[in-house]
Amino acid sequence: MPRDTGTALLREVFGFDAFRPGQGEIVDAVAQGRDVLAIMPTGGGKSLCFQLPALMRDGVTLVISPLIALMRDQVRGLQQAGVAAGALTSGNTPEETDAVWAQLAAGELKLLYLAPERLASAGTARMLSRAGISMIAVDEAHCVSQWGHDFRPDYLKIGALRRDLDVPVAAFTATADEETRAEIIARLFADCQPQVFLRGFDRPNIHLAFSAKDKPRQQILEFAKARRGQSGIVYCGTRNKTEALAQAMREDGHAACHYHGGMEADDRRTVEARFSREDGLIVVATVAFGMGVDKPDIRWVAHADLPKSIEAYYQEIGRAGRDGAPAETLTLFGADDIRLRRSQIDEGMAPPERRMADHGRLNALLGLAEALDCRRTVLLRYFGEAAEPCGHCDLCDHPPDVFDGTEAVRKVLSAVLRTGETYGAGYLVDVLTGNLTDKVRQRGHDSLPTFGVGKEFDKRGWTAVIRQMMGRDLLRPDADRHGALVMTDAALPVLRGQDTLCLRRDSISKASAQRMPAVKSMVNEEDAPLLSALKAKRRALSEEARVPAYVIFPDRTLIEMAETRPASLDAMARINGVGAKKLERYGSAFLQVITGADAPPVHPMRRKLAGRVEGSVYDRLMQTQADLTRGTCGTLKPLSCSASILAKVARLKPGDTAGLQRILGDKRQERFGAAFLDVLQDAG
């Protein structure tokens, strides 16, 4: 299948000028009918990698996707772009289901979305084998993994379906780790090695930032306040917290709701639907708010509590800014988070090797939280990619104030060891600062040589030192003794004086309090009013069509419109995200907002050619025929060509008189033929 068919469709149907990095190769392989496993970051543009090949190939592409709401949005998006797509899910109205069957029977359907539950019924298998399925695309392929929290037992049936239908499978996921990858290959491809594409993990439009907790509710509220009116997610560690924080958000004047796994399915769906449709809603959620979130224009994600691993962190912040426009994140963390996450791993049911690996993943996240230079470099290094300092994270924005913390760390280790590795951070701080509490006195710890040796910091300072030590896994809470901190082997070199260690000062002293990531506006000042006007138009259109705003146009497309201000439909057609169908549907409406006037009426035939060379050829043919309506001498009987004739000439570009004559007929050929040929030759 030639690449240019792909790029032509990319332009025509989806309105994109170019593939995103990596997409081109994947589209080629899938279009050629290879078995493919593609690992792409969230927002990398996975859906396009099966939607486009589906249009290039004969037959129907079956798409298995885990969530109904997500399928419906994709199907609606495709239909808006003029693609014959349908879904069979329990959420369908009978009419929708009938329409899908009719299109299937007529051989018109190109993409059939199916909920995994349907795979369980024998009827489905029979139906599918008659439906002319020529490829299976599996979205969120990591749902086959029994270890992941997204496990969907019905996904295990895909392997058998692939065998029965004997068609290629293209599987997609954003999950990075080796184990999950191996599991996908084993279960979906029966160990027949598919072609694997591993796309870079960088999401350069997402700003990264961490802050140590210090009045955490206030920190989150301030972050949200600075981004009022933008859609965002706040992830919390517990269900109760989602409710309380959502309430606080509302009191602060935001549109906010909570979401967690303990809610009724209906209530959850309502939140999902509102979030996807409304511009500027904040959802305060547990990680249960995850896969169902396919909204490309989430502008920020905040963590009110530390995620459980670096992979979880990456996936959660990755929900922001899928449309490629700027997005911001803030992750809060504290010693309590570290303790909680460690104990969750230790108390979990997983086998020992798994637990070890989970501690490792948590350590990687803590390393990121306590990083001393560019966070993106640290994050990408974990995923095996080299990177230069990014200039787009909190540490690049404001390099941290660091100091040699070796001495402080040794004092803590000494306190830990001399008290028998039996106490938590609070008690250790009492010993270090010489706080003679009842407990300290009872246990006689006031006579230890370490008692009161830590005058250089206050309670807050030592707490931050201990948190940083936990973050580097020098100290770990003991799973069997609640909260007791024990020394790990990683601390030995420091204890023995073989190694030194830098610590951050700015999370220790109150004076240089946390800096919040600055708010960046999406466009510069003079374009902002136009952008809001375009958004208002989009909101009106989306409410009218009852689809999410981004289905009309994503933020990025509106930003480009506001910045480049296209003055004609041709210029509009060159904006990223404006495909042929959408130009036809919405082009004039948005043009009107930009030019502030009614656009001159354009013949539909001409509109179809907008943005292409053929468009300007058409215009010149039109001009030429207007000049010749009454012949070169200006005295003949008026004669003209219809818009469809002109469009045909512009499209087919006949190179000689005979070809032109076939389109124009004799009379018109005589009047316009020679002049038209000149125009065509001129256009090359």
Stretch near Zn ion under the rule CB under 5 A, chosen from 387-395, 454-462, 493-501, 586-594: 387-395
Q: What's CA 517's distance to the chain center, in Å? A: 20
| Smaller CB separation from ligand ADP, 148 or 477 | 148
Closest CB 174 distance from ligand ADP, rounded Å: 7
Q: Among ligand ADP, Zn ion, none, what does residue 374 contact (CB within 5–8 Å per kind)?
A: Zn ion
In this chain, which residue has its C-beta nearest to ligand ADP? 45
Based on the shown chain and the rule CB under 5 A, indicate whether residue 393 belongs to the binding site for Zn ion. Answer: yes
Q: Among ligand ADP, Zn ion, none, what does residue 43 contact (CB within 5–8 Å per kind)?
A: ligand ADP
Cβ contact 323:295 at 8 Å: no
| Smaller CB separation from ligand ADP, 321 or 477 | 321
Closest CB 51 distance from ligand ADP, rounded Å: 8
Stretch near Zn ion under the rule CB under 5 A, chosen from 39-47, 170-178, 383-391, 594-602: 383-391
Q: Among ligand ADP, Zn ion, none, what does residue 393 contact (CB within 5–8 Å per kind)?
A: Zn ion
CA atoms of 10 and 38, how far apart (whole Å): 19
Nearest to 364 by CA among 318, 410, 307, 287: 307
Based on the shown chain and the rule CB under 5 A, indicate whether residue 9 belongs to the binding site for Zn ion. Answer: no
Based on the shown chain and the rule CB under 5 A, indicate whether residue 374 belongs to the binding site for Zn ion. Answer: yes
Closest CB 190 distance from ligand ADP, rounded Å: 25
Render 14-83 in DSSP notation, one character per residue. I--SSPPTTHHHHHHHHHTT--EEEE--TTS-HHHHHHHHHHHSSSEEEEE-S-HHHHHHHHHHHHHTT-
Q: Among Zn ion, ligand ADP, none, what does residue 45 contact (CB within 5–8 Å per kind)?
A: ligand ADP
Q: Among Zn ion, ligand ADP, none, what does residue 376 contact (CB within 5–8 Å per kind)?
A: Zn ion
| Smaller CB separation from Zn ion, 208 or 531 | 208
Q: Among ligand ADP, Zn ion, none, what does residue 322 contact (CB within 5–8 Å per kind)?
A: ligand ADP
Q: Among Zn ion, ligand ADP, none, what does residue 647 contact (CB within 5–8 Å per kind)?
A: none
| Smaller CB separation from Zn ion, 33 or 367 | 367
Angle value at C-alpha 480, between 474 and 486, nearest 5 degrees: 20
Stretch near Zn ion under the rule CB under 5 A, chosen from 90-98, 301-309, 371-379, 414-422: 371-379
Tokens of 229: 């009116």
Closest CB 94 distance from Zn ion, rounded Å: 53
| Smaller CB separation from ligand ADP, 322 or 612 | 322
CA atoms of 137 and 34, how far apart (whole Å): 12
| Smaller CB separation from ligand ADP, 538 or 671 | 538
Closest CB 372 distance from Zn ion, rounded Å: 12
Stretch near Zn ion under the rule CB under 5 A, chosen from 22-30, 394-402, 436-444, 514-522: 394-402
| Smaller CB separation from ligand ADP, 312 or 470 | 312
Angle value at C-alpha 148, between 147 and 149, nearest 5 degrees: 125
Q: What's CA 314's distance to the chain center, in Å? A: 10
Stretch near Zn ion under the rule CB under 5 A, chosen from 252-260, 343-351, 382-390, 578-586: 382-390
Cβ contact 64:119 at 8 Å: yes
Q: Among Zn ion, ligand ADP, none, what does residue 23 contact (CB within 5–8 Å per kind)?
A: ligand ADP
Q: 10 Å Cβ neighbour count for 178?
A: 7
Distances (CA, A) of 260 to 201, 265, 465, 534, 549: 28, 10, 34, 34, 24
Per CB under 6 A, residues contacting ligand ADP are 16, 19-20, 23, 40, 42-48, 296, 322-323, 554, 576
| Smaller CB separation from ligand ADP, 23 or 463 | 23
CA atoms of 4 and 99, how far apart (whole Å): 32
Q: 10 Å Cβ neighbour count for 215?
A: 10
Burial call 637-668: b when 16+ CB within 10 Å, e when fewer: eeeebeeebbbbbbeebbeeeeebeebbeeeb
| Smaller CB separation from ligand ADP, 46 or 258 | 46
Interaxial angle between packed helices 459-471 and 352-369, expressed in degrees from 0 to 180 and rounded to the nearest 10: 130
Based on the shown chain and the rule CB under 5 A, indicate whether residue 491 belongs to the binding site for Zn ion. Answer: no
Measured in degrees and rounded to the nearest 5, phi and psi for residue 457 equal -125, 160
CA atoms of 6 and 126, how far apart (whole Å): 32
Cβ contact 282:302 at 8 Å: no
Cβ contact 280:306 at 8 Å: no
Based on the shown chain and the rule CB under 5 A, indicate whether residue 396 belongs to the binding site for Zn ion. Answer: yes
| Smaller CB separation from Zn ion, 393 or 572 | 393
Stretch near Zn ion under the rule CB under 5 A, chosen from 74-82, 301-309, 372-380, 611-619: 372-380
Cβ contact 44:20 at 8 Å: yes
Closest CB 380 distance from Zn ion, rounded Å: 10
Find the binding residues for Zn ion in span 126-185 (CB under 5 A): none
Render 304-323 in DSSP notation, one character per residue. SS--SSHHHHHHHHTTTTTT
Q: Among ligand ADP, Zn ion, none, what does residue 243 contact (CB within 5–8 Å per kind)?
A: none
CA atoms of 639 and 245, how far apart (whole Å): 72
Strand partners, 86: 112
| Smaller CB separation from Zn ion, 380 or 572 | 380
Q: Among Zn ion, ligand ADP, none, what does residue 20 contact (CB within 5–8 Å per kind)?
A: ligand ADP
Closest CB 203 distance from Zn ion, rounded Å: 13
End-to-end distance of the chain based on CA atoms, in angstroms? Answer: 27
Render 457-483 in DSSP notation, one character per residue. S-HHHHHHHHHHHHHTTSEEE-SSSTT
Based on the shown chain and the rule CB under 5 A, indicate whether residue 371 belongs to the binding site for Zn ion. Answer: no
Residues lying near Zn ion in the complex (CB under 5 A) are found at 374, 376, 390, 393, 396
